[in-house]
Structure 1
Amino acid sequence: MADGQGGALLRGVTSSPRATFLELFFDLVFVFALTRVSQRLIDDVSANPPDVLRQVAQTVLLFLALWMVWILTAWVTSRYEPERNPIQFVVVASMFASLVMAVALPRAFAERALPFALAYLAIQVGRPLLLTLALRGHPRRSVTRRILLWFTVGAVPWLLGALLPPAQEVLWTLALAWDYAGLALGWPVPRRGAARPSGWAVAGEHLAERYQQFFLIALGETVLVIGLTFSGAVFSSHAALAFTLSFLTTALLWRIYFHRAGHVLAEAIRVARSPGVLGESASWTHLVIVAAVLLTGVGYELVISHPHGGRTPTGWAVFVTGGPALFLTARARFEYEIFARVSRSRVVGVVLLLGLLPLAPLLPPVGLLGLSVAVLAGIAVADTARAHGRPLERPASPL
């Protein structure tokens, strides 16, 4: 009986593969959270030169903590039935704690360190604890117990880092490395082995849709950056041009992502011999894709605010052309995951964008952004020309 009650939480054959309104509601918090990450990156670039790398590293750590929360929630709702009350409670509670993390994020390495750490641990420890209790005697309870144990151990450096400011960066780096090692290795425990997500039974269409939704959230965050920055900038023809080029970049990122591979991700996971393997691999790829979009959005803010400010600082070029280059690199991996190949245009695009970095000091910011747009537009045109008149390619994942 206990096994039956616990099993009722799992997704069944009649469960809808589409994301629920609850999950879309949960994502709203991450629209705000990503704006906090983006704004913090912008502030980092404006910091004193000796502190720039340190500040950026801190922001990356905080972003990775947010991603860990989101990706595990996505896997939970892909494995368990989101319409069940215990799962809905877990998602809503995670949503509130994620909001606390987002609010604390700008000052997470200062006076708001403890609220950030406590909110993170409330999700990562509380979620497997509640699932363990709800599953009762079900065999899958062993997985949630393993995750619970792993995150409980990892809670120690998180709390110590929040309480010991001089050692916070080191302790939180170790804590996050521990958490990501658990995710990558399947939270192994002595005499019980591991339970890697790649071996889980997941709803392929649902998981693919969740990845794509988070990518769209990241694009939405860049639209906010474009609009808010331009509305607060001094109106000029240069600023208007930077505004237009920024929007074109976002539109091109959307076009390049969804061309072919983005459209068949759900089918690729569904027909894969081991859907969990492809699902897990795609999660790491989308982590880099989303990070690249955020970096690109920072470039928008810098260029729109200072479109013709003489030569482009090298640090700005990392965002203006480095962000799209990182996106194309991750998109090439995504293409390989789906089709076991990489288009030549992706490789050429990365080389061209990286080649613009040394030219940055010779160009105004809006000029560098314009060249970046030209490279992305060339890739989009090449994709369209290659696909013209051909049937939609079927997925052939090598994973």
Structure 2
Amino acid sequence: MASEETRRLLRHPEAPKRATLLELLLDVVYVAALALLSMRLAEAVTWTAAAEILVLLMGIWWVWSITALLTDFYNPDEPKIQIIVGWAMLGSIVLTASIPQAFSALGWLFAGMYVAIHLVRGIVLVAVLRRHQAQARAARFLCWFTLSGTFWMAGAFLPASTRLVLWGIALVIDYVGAALRYPTPWLGRVPLAQYDKASEHLGERYQQFVILALGDIILVPLLLSGRTGLNAERMGILLLAFATLLLLWQIYVYRAGALLQAAIAEGPGRATRWAPYTHLLMVAGVVSTATGFELLVSETRNAAGLDLVAVVVGGPTLFLIGRTVFEYELFGTFAWSRLGWLVVLVGTAPAFLSLVPVAVAGFTGAVLLGVAMSDAVRSSGLRRPRRRSGES
């Protein structure tokens, strides 16, 4: 039988829903991580570079996502849980510092720390949750991260192309394992009832991360402008970046963002299981958008070119796709107007290849304004989100 000390490790249903200061401090590390990812992509916008950035982003995002789930299921005010969060923070700092050389000299450091974050967390939880039913949950996570860890470490010492493949396999194991609820021999899957224990705290954590991520759109362009000097052209680009940031924020908080906590309160299982995947698309979109504005500020071009159009248009496209899927899964409604704007955005992108770069960002901003206005029109007829039928 579990002791009272062990039971205190689990979050009480009546516990405060607000994020702790330690959780907010953890998020600060990811501001730097996203900025480094966008800066690394801006160095060379190629398919290979995009694939490498996606793998690094998915790894970093999974550390944050699992940590957010940890502090929602367990009591973040307990010292043992705080130590685990502190370990995740330290590990995230190392991951962030190794981003620029993750596919060269420091692959072992990125992979080693990623694996260590998950394995140490799992080992500690299995040890402290003795004789409690939650121990099986921690053991399932530990088994799956041990499996994916073999691919992470194997890839760390191989050439970059092979490393990309093996790390991709490792991420498939991590993400698919979570989607399948971590089926484990002799332990089975994580019961659906445990996902239903998610609280509004988890919704708040995702909202906080998206808000911080959006800041990346203006952060690096501001730093570059301060270093290279501010002129009328760069000021115009900064204002356009700021407008894009605000529009993406408005699109996010409409229903799926502002009501995410309420949705988790009504149907926590579905929201908990879909949020990591759809928010990954949105965060990837933010990184791509930030890359586009970094290129606009740092380079002088007569024509936009394929690389610039790809990141400037591709970023909002990913964001809108993730945002639309999330809304459908949470509320059972599909934003057809947003799909129409996506067709306009992607369909007209080739026409901007030979135009001045700022025209691409301006047109993308106009499309985002159209999406925000369409959402506002739709909101007048939607007082409260409908829950999807079926699985909670």
User: CA shift at 1:323, angstroms?
Assistant: 1.0
Select the residue among 380, 396, 399 that pairs with 2:387. 396
Give the corresponding residue for 1:149. 143
**How is 1:194-205 mapped onto 2 (pairs within 5 angstroms)?**
194-195=189-190, 199-205=194-200
Paired with 2:329 and 2:175, the residues of 1 have a C-alpha distance of: 21
Select the residue among 274, 282, 292 that pairs with 2:285. 292
Normalised to the residue count of structure 2, the TM-score between the two structures is 0.94
CA contact (8 A) 1:198 1:280 kept: no
Structure 1 residue matching 2:259: 3-state secondary structure: helix
CA contact (8 A) 1:204 1:279 kept: no
Give yes or no for the alignment of 1:360 onto 2:355.
no
User: CA shift at 1:17, angstroms?
Assistant: 1.1
Give the corresponding residue for 2:104. 110
Give the corresponding residue for 1:13. 13
User: CA shift at 1:77, angstroms?
Assistant: 0.4
Higher mean C-alpha displacement, 189-198 vs 321-330: 189-198
Select the residue among 96, 104, 109 that pairs with 2:90. 96
Paired with 2:197 and 2:26, the residues of 1 have a C-alpha distance of: 20
Give the corresponding residue for 1:177. 172
Question: Residue deviations 1:20-76, cap 9 Å, x none?
Answer: 11110111111111111111111232xxxxxx2222211111111001101000101
Paired with 1:93 and 1:335, the residues of 2 have a C-alpha distance of: 33
CA contact (8 A) 2:195 2:272 kept: no
Paired with 2:188 and 2:318, the residues of 1 have a C-alpha distance of: 35
CA contact (8 A) 2:198 2:269 kept: no
Paired with 1:198 and 1:281, the residues of 2 have a C-alpha distance of: 16
User: CA shift at 1:107, angstroms?
Assistant: 0.1
Structure 2 residue matching 1:321: 3-state secondary structure: helix
Paired with 1:111 and 1:141, the residues of 2 have a C-alpha distance of: 38
Give the corresponding residue for 1:348. 340
Give the corresponding residue for 1:48. none
Question: Residue deviations 1:302-340, cap 9 Å, x none?
Answer: 122336x21111121111112112211211112212331
Question: Residue deviations 1:280-319, cap 9 Å, x none?
Answer: 1122111111111111111111122336x21111121111
Structure 1 residues 330, 65: CA separation in 2 closer, same or farther (over 3 Å shift)? same
Counterpart residue type for residue 70 of structure 1:
W
List structure 1 runs of 4+ shifted beyond 4 angstroms.
196-199
Give the corresponding residue for 1:249. 244
Identity %: 38
User: CA shift at 1:234, angstroms?
Assistant: 4.8
Give yes or no for the alignment of 1:379 onto 2:371.
yes
CA contact (8 A) 2:305 2:354 kept: no
CA contact (8 A) 2:39 2:294 kept: no
CA contact (8 A) 1:208 1:265 kept: yes
Structure 2 residue matching 1:82: 3-state secondary structure: coil
Counterpart residue type for residue 269 of structure 2:
G
Paired with 2:8 and 2:359, the residues of 1 have a C-alpha distance of: 58
Structure 1 residues 330, 171: CA separation in 2 closer, same or farther (over 3 Å shift)? closer
Normalised to the residue count of structure 1, the TM-score between the two structures is 0.92
User: CA shift at 1:222, angstroms?
Assistant: 1.6
Paired with 2:247 and 2:283, the residues of 1 have a C-alpha distance of: 15
Question: Residue deviations 1:81-125, cap 9 Å, x none?
Answer: 000011000000110011001001110111111111121111111
User: CA shift at 1:257, angstroms?
Assistant: 0.9
Give yes or no for the alignment of 1:43 onto 2:43.
yes
Paired with 2:228 and 2:193, the residues of 1 have a C-alpha distance of: 47
CA contact (8 A) 2:198 2:272 kept: no
CA contact (8 A) 2:278 2:322 kept: yes
Paired with 1:366 and 1:189, the residues of 2 have a C-alpha distance of: 52
Give yes or no for the alignment of 1:317 onto 2:312.
no
**How is 1:54-203 mapped onto 2 (pairs within 5 angstroms)?**
54-165=48-159, 167-195=162-190, 199-203=194-198
Paired with 2:31 and 2:327, the residues of 1 have a C-alpha distance of: 26
**How is 1:226-305 mapped onto 2 (pairs within 5 angstroms)?**
226-272=221-267, 275-305=268-298
Higher mean C-alpha displacement, 290-299 vs 278-287: 278-287
Paired with 1:233 and 1:334, the residues of 2 have a C-alpha distance of: 39
Paired with 2:68 and 2:85, the residues of 1 have a C-alpha distance of: 10
CA contact (8 A) 1:5 1:135 kept: no
Count of residues in correspondence between the two structures: 389
Counterpart residue type for residue 295 of structure 1:
S
Paired with 2:154 and 2:254, the residues of 1 have a C-alpha distance of: 46
Where does the alignment leave 5 or more consecutive residues of structure 1 unmatched? 46-51
Paired with 1:294 and 1:20, the residues of 2 have a C-alpha distance of: 26
Q: CA RMSD in A?
A: 1.9
Structure 1 residue matching 2:132: 3-state secondary structure: coil
CA contact (8 A) 1:162 1:168 kept: yes
Counterpart residue type for residue 240 of structure 2:
L
CA contact (8 A) 2:352 2:359 kept: no
Give yes or no for the alignment of 1:210 onto 2:205.
yes
CA contact (8 A) 1:125 1:148 kept: yes
CA contact (8 A) 1:321 1:372 kept: yes
Paired with 2:305 and 2:191, the residues of 1 have a C-alpha distance of: 43
Structure 1 residues 369, 81: CA separation in 2 closer, same or farther (over 3 Å shift)? same
Structure 1 residues 224, 351: CA separation in 2 closer, same or farther (over 3 Å shift)? same
Paired with 1:382 and 1:158, the residues of 2 have a C-alpha distance of: 44
